[in-house]
Amino acid sequence: MELLVALAGFLAADVALIGAGIAALTGLGAGIGMGIATGKAVEATARQPEAVGKIRTMLLLGLAFAETTAIYGLLVAVLILFL
What's the pLDDT score for residue 7?
Answer: 56
Q: What is the pTM assigned to this prediction?
A: 0.74
Cα separation, 43 vs 35, in Å, equals: 12
Q: What is the pLDDT of residues 9-59, one digit of tens each?
A: 666 667 788 888 888 888 899 999 999 999 999 999 999 999 999 999 999
Third-level CATH fold of 13-82 = F1FO ATP Synthase (1.20.20)
What's the pLDDT score for residue 82?
Answer: 86
- Asked whether residue 79 carries a pLDDT value surpassing 80, the answer given is yes
Instruction: Say which amino acid occupies 14.
Output: D
Our CA angle for 14, 29, 21, nearest 5°, is 10
Domain range annotation of the chain: 13-82
Based on C-alpha coordinates, what's the Rg of the chain?
20
Per the CB < 8 A criterion, the answer to whether 23 and 79 are in contact is no
